[in-house]
Amino acid sequence: MSKTQLESAKAGIVTKEMVEASQGEELTPEEIRDYIANGWVVIPKNKNRSVKNVKAIGKGLRTKVNANLGTSDEKADLDFEKRKLEAAIKAGTDSVMDLSTGGDLNKAREFFLENSPVMVGAVPIYGIASEMARKGRNVEEMTEEMIFDSIEQQCRQGVDYITVHCGVTQETAARLKYAERIMPCVSRGGSITLRWMRKNKKENPLYEHFDELLKIAHKYDVTLSLGDGFRPGTVLDAIDGPQISELLILGELAKRAREKGVQVIIEGPGHVPLEHIKPHVRLEKKLCNEAPFYVLGPLPTDIAPGYDHITAAIGGAVAAAAGVDFLCYVTPAEHLGLPDEKDVYLGVMAARIAAHVGDVSKGIKSAIERDRAMSVARQNLNWEEMARQALDGELLRCRAHIAQDKEACTMCGKLCAVKLSRTED
């Protein structure tokens, strides 16, 4: 059996994926190898999938962005998903996750795996729960065998990384009783797992049989994204017993995974007040031995439905600056409905802005140089160069209104500060 990326790194081997992932980064392939060996960097790449755009996530690298796509039981249209995927790729996403819960789930997954030029993630338990609901059965009727069979099936198909809610345990669930949360559980995967445990009065199979999960992940070199089933769903529930106890367990499981040659990402919140984002990132890094940190948002306020891509960009910038490695986008449709292609595009762009702001703060040279190049172009009133440096050059070209002098814009016209402050020869 061939080595996983982690096993290769520990053996001192530089793989072709490490070389490819170093393109556009400031780490050499050898540095990426060493960081993977330490558990600080991952390359989500299934052995069964060919992808040209191999990316690494973690310490010393550019902050990456993910776009959640997929059907629902209210709208299962692969043409619609195709438009969303195209929008995500056009906006510059580094990853997509198939969160489909409606229609033919295998067909949807195959569509994303065949058509996405970037890494593809999934949440296997969504597929099982959706099939149960379609047959009129309750999620607690799932068997442990069904859960692991579904995980293996999806890994065999080629998914690069999977979210698994292994930290939702009897121990962490018991803390909900004393947490006095407004919203006890807002994670879909976490709530499915919680209900299964309560109804069956049994431990979470993914925690109890974690070694079985590791065998599957190792077989296909699938990266485990350890999900935060008890992430806060409101800023008023942030940083409490269930959330922190789950994080402690995820840190322990991450260590076990690395020992078995399996790469690991840690997932984080969620809704968090702005002042708590940086300390929370530092806590995760400490408890999980600098494992790559993947956050949804985070959202520092709950009152902006319709604008939550902006809310998430604010929290995401703070999180990325503090050391978060992977931002999951939030679209304007968050909390309101299934996003369309426009929502997807805006969500990816907002997350990319946050990622870039974080990279500048982290001292990523390429990010700083891009800001420098934009500033020089502005000083020279070089609109074409501004478009090349902009995250969305197409938008700049559409929105730029040039004054009569063909240099300044219509905001200032003859009173353009750049022109007025130029030193005359």
DSSP string, 108-175: HHHHHHHH-SSEEEE-HHHHHHHHHHHTT--GGG--HHHHHHHHHHHHHHT-SEEEE-TT--HHHHHT
Rounded to whole angstroms, how far apart are CA atoms 198 and 275? Answer: 35
| DSSP, res 381 | T
**Phi then psi for 43, rounded to 5 degrees?**
-120, 95
The contacts of residue 213 (CB under 8 Å, 6+ apart) are: 148, 151, 164, 166, 206, 224
**Average of per-residue pLDDT values in the chain:** 96
In the chain, % of residues over pLDDT 90: 92
Give the pLDDT score at 129. 92
Q: What three-state secondary structure class fits 14?
A: coil
Residue 354 has pLDDT above 70, yes or no: yes
Beta-bridged to residue 271, according to DSSP, are: 299
State how far the alpha carbon of 111 is from the alpha carbons of 51, 60, 117, 119, in Å.
Answer: 14, 33, 12, 13
pTM: 0.96
Q: Side-chain half-sphere of 166: how many Cα atoms within 13 Å?
A: 30
With the C-alpha atoms ordered 29, 32, 37, 38, is the resulting torsion angle positive or negative? positive
Give the pLDDT score at 424. 62
Query: Residue 161 corresponds to which tokens in the numbers above?
Result: 């990384």
Residue 408 has pLDDT above 80, yes or no: yes
Contact 45, 73 (CB under 8 A): no
Across the range 187-199, mean pLDDT stands at: 95
Rounded to whole angstroms, how far apart are CA atoms 4 and 220? Answer: 8
Query: Residue 205 corresponds to which tokens in the numbers above?
Result: 């199979």
Strand 223-226 and strand 95-98: pairing? unpaired
Rounded to whole angstroms, how far apart are CA atoms 153 and 147? Answer: 10
Give the pLDDT score at 1. 63
Give the pLDDT score at 385. 96
Give the pLDDT score at 422. 84
Give the pLDDT score at 425. 42
Rounded to whole angstroms, how far apart are CA atoms 302 and 78? Answer: 31
CA end-to-end distance (rounded Å), the chain: 71
Across the range 338-365, mean pLDDT stands at: 98
Q: pLDDT category, 111, cuts 50, 70, 90? A: very high
Across the range 175-180, mean pLDDT stands at: 91
Query: Residue 272 corresponds to which tokens in the numbers above?
Result: 């968090």
Rounded to whole angstroms, how far apart are CA atoms 39 and 56? Answer: 12
Residue 305 has pLDDT above 60, yes or no: yes
Across the range 77-81, mean pLDDT stands at: 96
Query: Residue 342 corresponds to which tokens in the numbers above?
Result: 């426009």
With the C-alpha atoms ordered 282, 286, 289, 293, is the resulting torsion angle positive or negative? negative
pLDDT of 367-381, one tens digit each?
999 999 999 999 999
Residue 310 has pLDDT above 90, yes or no: yes
pLDDT of 224-268, one tens digit each?
999 999 999 999 999 999 999 999 999 999 999 999 999 999 999
Give the pLDDT score at 275. 97
Among candidate residues 194, 249, 263, the one with its CA nearest the CA of residue 37: 263
Residue 160 has pLDDT above 70, yes or no: yes
pLDDT of 381-396, one tens digit each?
999 999 999 999 999 9
Residue 42 has pLDDT above 60, yes or no: yes
Q: What angle do CA 146, 151, 152 make, to 5 degrees?
A: 100
Query: Residue 270 corresponds to which tokens in the numbers above?
Result: 């969620």
Which one-letter amino acid corresponds to residue 344? V
**Phi then psi for 241, rounded to 5 degrees?**
-55, -50
| DSSP, res 183 | S
With the C-alpha atoms ordered 391, 395, 401, 407, is the resulting torsion angle positive or negative? positive
Residue 182 has pLDDT above 50, yes or no: yes
Give the pLDDT score at 406. 86
Rounded to whole angstroms, how far apart are CA atoms 16 and 44? Answer: 13
